Amino acid sequence: MVVRLIDSSSTTPRIAEVFSDHSILEAMLGFELSLARAEASLGVIPQDAARAIENAASPDLYNASALAADSLRSATPSIPFVKALTEQVKKIDASAAGFVHWGATSQDVADTAIILVLKKSRDILHEDLARLDHSLSQLSERHAKTPMLARTLLQAALPTSFGLKAAGWLGAIRRNHSRLHAAFQEALILQFGGAAGTLASLGDKGTKLGKALAQELGLGYPEAPWHTHRDRLAALMCALGVTAGSLGKMARDISLLSQNEVAEAAEPTAEGRGGSSAMPHKQNPVGCTLALASAYRVPGLVSTFLSSMVQEHERAVGGWQSEWATISAIVQATSLAAASMAEVAEGLTVNAVRMRENIAATQGTIFAERATILLANALGRDAARKIVEKAVQQSVASNGEFVEVLAEMPEVRKVLNAAILKDLQSPEGYLGVAEEFRRSLVNSKPRHNSPDRKP
**In the chain, what percentage of residues exceed pLDDT 90?**
89
**pLDDT for 278 beyond 80:** no
Q: Give the pLDDT score at 274.
A: 63
In whole angstroms, what is the distance from residue 410 CA to residue 256 CA? 41
pLDDT bracket for residue 448 (50, 70, 90) = low
**pLDDT for 399 beyond 80:** yes
**pLDDT for 454 beyond 50:** no
pLDDT bracket for residue 282 (50, 70, 90) = low
Averaged over 259-265, what is the pLDDT? 96
Averaged over 232-237, what is the pLDDT? 98
Q: Tens digit of pLDDT for each residue in 21-42?
A: 999 999 999 999 999 999 999 9
**pLDDT for 202 beyond 60:** yes
**pLDDT for 449 beyond 70:** no
Q: For 220, which DSSP code? A: B
pLDDT bracket for residue 4 (50, 70, 90) = confident
**What is the pTM for the complete model shown?**
0.93
Mean pLDDT of all residues belonging to the chain: 94
Averaged over 178-184, what is the pLDDT? 97
**pLDDT for 198 beyond 70:** yes
Burial zone of 400 (CB within 10 Å; 0-12 exposed, 13-18 middle, 19+ buried): middle
In whole angstroms, what is the distance from residue 296 CA to residue 329 CA? 12
Q: Give the pLDDT score at 453.
A: 45
Q: How far apart are the first and last CA of the chain?
A: 26
Q: Tens digit of pLDDT for each residue in 302-319?
A: 999 999 999 999 999 998
Instruction: Report the top-level CATH class of 10-104+192-224.
Output: mainly alpha
Q: Give the pLDDT score at 422.
A: 86
Q: Tens digit of pLDDT for each residue in 350-383?
A: 999 999 999 999 999 999 999 999 999 889 999 9
Residues 6+ apart with CB under 8 A from 93: 48, 49, 52
Q: Tens digit of pLDDT for each residue in 266-276?
A: 998 766 666 65
Instruction: Report the top-level CATH class of 109-189+226-361+433-455.
Output: mainly alpha
**pLDDT for 85 beyond 90:** yes
Averaged over 243-251, what is the pLDDT? 98
Contact, 135 vs 346, CB < 8 A? yes
Q: Tens digit of pLDDT for each residue in 137-157?
A: 999 999 999 999 999 999 999
Active site residues: 276, 315
Contact, 441 vs 167, CB < 8 A? yes
Q: Is 350 helix (H, G, I), strand (E, B) or coil?
A: strand
Averaged over 148-175, what is the pLDDT? 97
Q: Give the pLDDT score at 188.
A: 98
pLDDT bracket for residue 1 (50, 70, 90) = low
- The DSSP string of 36-48 is HHHHHHTTSS-HH
Contact, 122 vs 188, CB < 8 A? yes
In whole angstroms, what is the distance from residue 289 CA to residue 340 CA? 9
**pLDDT for 450 beyond 80:** no
Q: Give the pLDDT score at 275.
A: 60
